Amino acid sequence: SIAYLNGEYMALEEARISPLDRGFLFGDGIYEVIPYYGGKSVGLIPHIERMIDGLGSIEIKCNKSVDEWKELLDEVIARNDGANQNLGVYVHVSRGADTKRFHAYPENVEPTIFCFTFAIKDPEPVDREKVTAYSVTTTQDLRWKRCHIKSTALLGNVMHFQQGYASGNNECLLYNDKNELTEGSSVNAFIVKDGVVITPIQDNQILPGITRRIIIDSLKADGSIPVEERTVTMDEVLNADEVWISSSSKEIAPVVKIDDKPVGDGKVGQVWEKAFGIYTAAKF
């Protein structure tokens, strides 16, 4: 596939960065993953805005405007035949290559900008009998206290994901030291109880997921399913009627097993099907 690196397009295998790049040495960077279905993006502007916010919060100076980012990402998709397939585009901005390894932010270093695409699956059917169902484990959230920043330093997330994966599950749901749900290692989380959709509030404990936002906004606009953003205890998670996880690549994925125990009746729920229909109609 065709990658973009610092102003140039090239075959992905040909892309090279310096080992002194702070993204490599320190995980000092911000990234995004944006889905495009047949060339049409989902949440592109909010993704770009979140990246610009993240870059601002770690003082990486990258002067591209929202429009310039949009043009670049659309171009990367076009060069990879995005109109004829479903692609995710990965965008990475690191602080760039210094001349030495020193913790402080260097002056006068150009950020490294890297994009590449990868194939993503067709959207799942809006059908509770046919959709792929997920199983998850749970563990205490041992990441840092700045989870709202979409940092490329993902070791905490990677270790939690691996914990779920190694035990044959698709994800790992995380809780803080008050036994409150935060999110999953690469997804936001929702529960459904008595017909109400509930998701943890957006604070420093979770990534402000774009899919999460589209879900909340589209359900609110539709009006037929109540939505609450509030603290969710693990007790509520384990006694929920339904549990969902969301991300740009998974959209809204139903979870039917947590730590080997069924969620609700162990089948994908009716609220999921209704909500996924509403989301699917609203996402572009």
> What residues are annotated to the active site?
150
The token duo for 246 is 């969301």
The token duo for 90 is 């990965």
- Does position 207 bind ligand PDD by CB under 6 A? yes
Among 249, 267, 277, 280, binds ligand PDD (CB under 6 A): 249
Query: What is the amino acid identity at position 46?
Result: P
Q: Which residues pair with 229 in a beta bridge?
A: 199
- Least distance (Å) between residue 59 CB and ligand PDD: 22
- Does position 219 bind ligand PDD by CB under 6 A? no
| Distance of alpha carbon 124 from alpha carbon 104, whole angstroms | 45
| Distance of alpha carbon 203 from alpha carbon 200, whole angstroms | 9
| Distance of alpha carbon 259 from alpha carbon 173, whole angstroms | 10
- Least distance (Å) between residue 86 CB and ligand PDD: 14
- Residue located via tokens 């940092």: 151
**DSSP structure class, residue 97:** B
CA angle (229 as vertex; 273, 139 as ends), nearest 5: 80
Nearest to 93 by CA among 48, 138, 35: 48
Residue window 27-66: x/- pattern of binding to ligand PDD, with contact defined by CB under 6 A: ------x---------------------------------
In the bound state with ligand PDD, the residue whose beta carbon lies nearer, of 229 and 265, is 229
The token duo for 121 is 């699956």
| DSSP code string of 217-243 | HHHHHH-SS-EEES--BHHHHHT-SEE
Instruction: Return the residues of window 131-170 that contact ligand PDD according to CB under 6 A.
Output: 157
Nearest to 8 by CA among 90, 66, 63, 75: 75
The token duo for 214 is 């589209």
- Does position 199 bind ligand PDD by CB under 6 A? no
- Does position 187 bind ligand PDD by CB under 6 A? yes
Among 94, 186, 205, 218, binds ligand PDD (CB under 6 A): 186
The token duo for 55 is 């870059």
- Does position 247 bind ligand PDD by CB under 6 A? yes
Choices 132-140, 195-203, 223-231, 246-254 (CB under 6 A): range interacting with ligand PDD: 246-254
In the bound state with ligand PDD, the residue whose beta carbon lies nearer, of 4 and 31, is 31
In the bound state with ligand PDD, the residue whose beta carbon lies nearer, of 109 and 232, is 232
Query: What is the amino acid identity at position 26?
Result: F
Among 82, 205, 248, 256, binds ligand PDD (CB under 6 A): 248
Choices 13-21, 119-127, 186-194, 228-236 (CB under 6 A): range interacting with ligand PDD: 186-194
How many residues belong to the site for ligand PDD (CB under 6 A)?
15
- Does position 254 bind ligand PDD by CB under 6 A? no
Footprint of ligand PDD (CB under 6 A): 33, 157, 183, 186-188, 207, 209-212, 246-249
